[in-house]
Amino acid sequence: MTKLSVNINKIAVLRNSRGGNLPDVVGSALRIVDFGAEGITVHPRPDGRHIRYDDVRALKPLLDVEFNIEGNPIASFVELVDEVCPAQVTLVPDAADAITSNAGWDTLRHRDFLTDICSHFRQRGIRTSIFIDPDPAMAEGAAHCGADRVELYTEAYASGYGAAAAAYSDGDERFDAAREAVIAPYVAAAVEARRCGLGLNAGHDLNLQNLTYFIRRIPFCDEVSIGHALISDALWLGMENTVQLYKRAIADGLL
């Protein structure tokens, strides 16, 4: 069963916009777990514009589900992960001024650096996942770096799926062909990751519209990390209901 890890960065954005501790980021994470999430993801950035390093420290002793910390492995990030020792660290090559993650690692070009980082975290018993574009060569490269998993960067899939859904109705053969075209590179990368013995995660712009088909085509995906869409849906649907709807979307993909 693919696990749902909820990224709570956007809850921190709301808190930071006003100051104080409303909404309570740690309390929100615990409620999300109570509502059925199998993991919590955070992506602290050096400027602290959403999740802050202190939030990460506060969350770790209170969570009884998988804790995934994402980020660019600069020195301060590595020190934080070493201190907190989460179940998983996801290496993302985002620039300090990036609005959101916008590319995966080139695991061939950065092989030496990533190999050192993966070895560093493995010695501390932390599972390491490398964020990659849907390219089989990048998956194979991640295996050579010593990663435990890769996370497929799914923005292109989500954009393509949305365009297909806007152009064609469900049941239209053209819709089936269009969404198959956008998922094909992800299937190829996922199969290669599996061949290399890697676990598989996915994330970025996955939502209630496109999640079920993604899981249907890649049913061996270990985990999806979803934040922006899920938190946005919760504004209208309520957080407890939304978490359950995302879990149902995953389950429908495995039917």
Residues 12 and 199: their CA atoms lie apart, in Å, by 29
Does 43 participate in catalysis according to the annotation? yes
Indicate the SS3 state at residue 202.
strand
Identify whether the C-beta of residue 189 lies closer than 8 Å to the C-beta of residue 240: no
**How far are the Cα atoms of 60, 101, 112, 178, 225 from residue 201, in angstroms, in the given order?**
21, 15, 23, 23, 8
Residue with token string 């849906």: 233
CA-angle at 164, arms to 1 and 101, nearest 5°: 60
Does 110 participate in catalysis according to the annotation? no
- Which of the residues 50, 70, 140, 151 is marked catalytic? 70
- Which of the residues 43, 140, 192, 223 is marked catalytic? 43
Non-local CB neighbours of 185 within 8 Å, separated by 6+ positions: 134, 135, 156
Helices 25-34 and 239-253: crossing angle in degrees, nearest 10, is: 50
For residue 197, give both structure tokens: 């013995």
Residues 27 and 85: their CA atoms lie apart, in Å, by 20
Q: How far apart are the first and last CA of the chain?
A: 11
Sign of the alpha-carbon torsion through 133, 138, 144, 145: negative
Does 120 participate in catalysis according to the annotation? no
Residue 16 dihedral angles phi and psi, to the nearest 5°: -65, -25
- Which of the residues 151, 192, 204, 223 is marked catalytic? 204
Catalytic residues: 43, 70, 204
